[in-house]
Amino acid sequence: MSVNIVFLGPPGVGKGTQAHLLAKSLGIHHLATGDLFREEIKNQTELGRKAKNYLDQGVLVSDEVTVAMVRERLQGDQYQKGVILDGFPRNRDQAAALDGILAQRGNALRAVLFVKASPQVIIERLSGRRVCRAAGHNYHLLYSPPRVEGKCDIDGSELYQRDDDRPEVIARRIEVYRESTSPLIEHYRQRGLLVEIDGEQPIPVVQEKILEALAISVNDFPKVQV
Ligand code: AP5
């Protein structure tokens, strides 16, 4: 039985940061749809051309394109033990598609980690975020700054601000989250899968809370060290 976990929450709340850390703790791969789209855009693929306008405007890429991409990626051998999903599903149709994809493999979702923070915290995190050009490593000007200004600690590449972290696009992304994604909170709560996490604490504290919550609410997590 594989371990399949979803990170749910508003833009910039720290889903990517925590999904990466949890993937390391559990030894399970992380799949972030936003990262996949940015990679396709960078490589100027057909899919990247289709996705670019949506990302620039802060709205959702069509379900057809997104679900097909996730379905295809999850066939990779690295996901046999399960997956930590970040940024997917983002609406009810994607949630239904995910159930179908997992059911075809004889699996189901184990938990949905809903990371919460106030709008002020979210805006501060998004406006201070910087990302490395080469591999997407994540920094924050105040909370996790690079050792050398403007350069990635890991690969030395240039740090840049994502196009969709401009104020007008941030506002649109928050609106899209409220309209399309936030109904999933109730959807998963009713299914008994929702685990609520206070995302306003520093990164290591949020990480610890997530591990604690999983150890308490989900059985069979042999690698979780609390
Ligand atoms: P995506 O890349 O998924 O963006 P998002 O959901 O808006 O999330 P973010 O990546 O902005 O934030 P995050 O919560 O991961 O926060 P992070 O850890 O980086 O999607 C982008 C676009 O792709 C969408 O708008 C859409 O167009 C498209 N798309 C993606 N998925 C799709 C789907 N399923 N369907 C259709 N379209 C889709 O943290 C943010 C900052 O805060 C960082 O600087 C970090 O260092 C800092 N930070 C994190 N945690 C803390 C903490 N605890 N304390 C202090 N600082 C912190």
Q: Is the confidence at residue 223, as pLDDT, over 70?
A: no
* Confidence class for position 225, pLDDT limits 50, 70, 90: very low
Residues annotated catalytic, as ranges: 15, 90, 129, 162, 173
47: closest CA among 58, 57, 62, 32?
A: 62
Q: What angle do CA 5, 208, 183 make, to 5 degrees?
A: 40
Average pLDDT along the chain: 93
pLDDT of residue 220: 54
194 strand-pairing partners? 112
159 strand-pairing partners? 132
Name which residue sits closest to atom 6 of ligand 1, judged by CA.
11
Cβ neighbour number for residue 189 with a 10 Å cutoff: 14
38: closest CA among 47, 30, 29?
A: 47
* Confidence class for position 215, pLDDT limits 50, 70, 90: confident
Minimum mean pLDDT range among 90-94, 163-167, 179-183: 163-167
From 18, 98, 129, 142, give the residue whose CB has the most ligand 1 atoms within 8 Å, as the site to mutate. 129
197 strand-pairing partners? 115
Distance 32 CA to ligand 1 centre (A): 9
- For residue range 189-205, list pLDDT tens digits in order: 999 999 999 999 999 99
Question: Rounded to an integer, what distance in angstroms lies between the CA atom of residue 79 and that of residue 77?
Answer: 5
Backbone dihedral angles phi then psi of residue 112, each to the nearest 5 degrees: -120, 115
pLDDT of residue 193: 97
- For residue range 69-128, list pLDDT tens digits in order: 999 999 999 999 999 999 999 999 999 999 999 999 999 999 999 999 999 999 999 999
Percent of the chain whose predicted confidence (pLDDT) is above 90: 92
Note the pTM of the prediction, 2 decimals. 0.94
Section 23-36 average pLDDT: 95
Backbone dihedral angles phi then psi of residue 111, each to the nearest 5 degrees: -165, 150
Q: Is the confidence at residue 187, as pLDDT, over 60?
A: yes
* Confidence class for position 226, pLDDT limits 50, 70, 90: very low
| CB of 84 sitting under 6 A from ligand 1 | no
Q: 3-class DSSP state for residue 132?
A: strand
Section 144-164 average pLDDT: 96
pLDDT of residue 217: 62
* Confidence class for position 216, pLDDT limits 50, 70, 90: low
Q: Is the confidence at residue 222, as pLDDT, over 60?
A: no
